[in-house]
């Protein structure tokens, strides 16, 4: 039995928590506000894709301090909330504890443990002062790319809307007992978790869609089916994908999917409102730096022209400022 702490028990964190609990592991949730109060009072409720509803009575708190060492810590926060949380994880960690980062966009650890001259270099818009690198030793980190969607429909209640696939990988590409154990635990709970030796390539494959569709959705407040049905918007998205793929290839992680194949994946989301659209409507900060700004930064470092991405980045950053939200 694994001891697992889910830091950020929102839609994705909650679904991962339910999977670990379903498989018989000891799960603790970290949440806040009304969602935390509901988790403490009534437990976690998950509305599954097949219509089943399940309830999990799991301990929940707003602070990981005092929970003791864990076998795995899942960080499923919005990217802009991670920096403040990392120092608070210290009490959860043994030398061999895995910290699974289930995040959108490029992660702050992107260049950790890569071979070559960029090894351990920060992405400045994500970790400008290096505090994230200092707060958590890279040896703890397992990257996680989530191909699952869900929504917190009410405090304590999560609706799983699509997907089961998670890609997990050690930063140095090695196979490891802890990686195999976490994938096995998730799969026993109904996930489709796969270990990969190319976690950064997995990041880029998802990011190519996110960096284009997410800001366009937030700027237009259009659902995915409305965007996919608008040829003018798809032309912009296609151009952004092509630019992003050139950046990925420059850094040694070519996306092994064509633009048209990636657009087909996006069409499978039907009428969904994707994350940045939801966040803007609900007055939340937008994950602009992780999803778009980081790609602009890496393109600039490489001397690559990305005019469409830069233009959309400027527009969505201005939109967030006008709405009073952060651009982190």
pLDDT tens column, 219-237 = 999 999 999 999 999 999 9
Identify whether 106 is part of a domain.
yes
Identify whether 289 is part of a domain.
yes
Q: Are residues 90 and 187 in the same domain?
A: yes
Two tokens at 125? 């818009």
Q: Quote the CA–CA distance of 150 and 176 in Å, as a whole number.
A: 29
Using pLDDT thresholds of 50, 70 and 90, give the confidence band for residue 271.
confident
Q: Are residues 176 and 229 in the same domain?
A: no
Range list of H helices, the chain:
11-22, 33-42, 82-85, 131-135, 177-188, 199-220, 224-228, 231-250, 259-267, 275-281, 288, 294-302, 307-323
Q: Quote the CA–CA distance of 310 and 319 in Å, as a whole number.
A: 14
Q: Are residues 214 and 105 in the same domain?
A: no
Using pLDDT thresholds of 50, 70 and 90, give the confidence band for residue 325.
low
Q: Are residues 51 and 159 in the same domain?
A: yes
Maximal CA-CA distance, the chain: 54
CB 92 within 8 A of CB 68: yes
Q: Are residues 36 and 143 in the same domain?
A: yes
Q: Are residues 205 and 119 in the same domain?
A: no
- pLDDT greater than 60 at residue 309: yes
Check which CATH number belongs to the domain holding 246 and give it: 1.10.1040.10
Q: Are residues 216 and 293 in the same domain?
A: yes
Using pLDDT thresholds of 50, 70 and 90, give the confidence band for residue 88.
very high
Q: Quote the CA–CA distance of 231 and 94 in Å, as a whole number.
A: 52
Q: Quote the CA–CA distance of 223 and 236 in Å, as a whole number.
A: 16
pLDDT of 328 reads: 53
- pLDDT greater than 80 at residue 86: yes
Identify whether 328 is part of a domain.
no
Contacts of 296 (CB under 8 A, 6+ apart): 306, 309, 310, 313
Q: Are residues 31 and 175 in the same domain?
A: yes
Q: Quote the CA–CA distance of 262 and 225 in Å, as a whole number.
A: 15
pLDDT of 278 reads: 86
Question: How many residues in the chain?
Answer: 328
Cα 175 to chain centroid, rounded: 22
Q: Are residues 95 and 221 in the same domain?
A: no
State the total domains in the chain. 2
Check which CATH number belongs to the domain holding 7 and give it: 3.40.50.720
Identify whether 181 is part of a domain.
yes
Q: Which domain holds residue 32?
A: 3-196
Catalytic annotation, residues: 206
Helix (H, G, I), strand (E, B) or coil at 118: coil
Using pLDDT thresholds of 50, 70 and 90, give the confidence band for residue 116.
confident
Identify whether 295 is part of a domain.
yes
């Amino acid at each position: 039995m694994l001891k697992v702490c889910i830091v950020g028990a929102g839609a994705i964190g909650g679904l991962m928590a339910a999977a670990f609990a379903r498989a018989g592991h000891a799960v603790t949730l970290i949440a806040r506000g009304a969602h935390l109060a509901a988790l403490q009072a009534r437990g976690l409720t998950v509305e599954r894709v097949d219509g089943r509803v399940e309830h999990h009575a799991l301990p929940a708190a707003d602070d990981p301090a005092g929970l003791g060492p864990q076998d795995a810590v899942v960080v499923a926060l919005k990217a802009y909330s991670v920096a403040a949380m990392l120092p608070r994880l210290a009490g959860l960690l043994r030398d061999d504890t895995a910290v699974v980062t289930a995040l959108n966009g490029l992660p702050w650890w992107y260049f950790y443990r890569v071979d070559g001259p960029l090894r351990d270099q920060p992405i400045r818009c994500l970790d400008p002062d290096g505090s994230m690198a200092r707060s958590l030793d890279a040896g703890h980190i397992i990257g996680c790319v989530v191909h699952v969607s869900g929504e917190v429909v009410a405090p304590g209640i999560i609706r799983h809307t699509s997907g089961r696939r998670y890609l997990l990988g050690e930063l140095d590409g090695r196979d490891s007992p802890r990686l195999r154990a976490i994938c096995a635990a998730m799969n026993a709970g109904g996930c489709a978790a796969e270990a990969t030796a190319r976690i950064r390539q997995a990041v880029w494959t998802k990011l190519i869609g996110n960096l284009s569709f997410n800001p366009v959705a937030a700027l237009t407040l259009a659902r995915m089916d409305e965007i996919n049905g608008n040829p003018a918007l798809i032309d912009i998205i296609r151009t952004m994908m092509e630019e992003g793929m050139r950046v990925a290839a420059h850094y040694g992680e070519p996306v092994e999917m064509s633009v048209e194949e990636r657009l087909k994946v996006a069409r499978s989301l039907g009428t969904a409102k994707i994350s940045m659209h939801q966040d803007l409507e609900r007055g939340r900060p937008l994950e602009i730096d992780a999803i778009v700004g980081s790609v602009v930064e890496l393109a600039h470092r490489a001397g690559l022209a990305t005019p469409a991405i830069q233009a959309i980045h400027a527009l969505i950053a201005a939109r967030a400022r006008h709405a009073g939200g952060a651009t982190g």
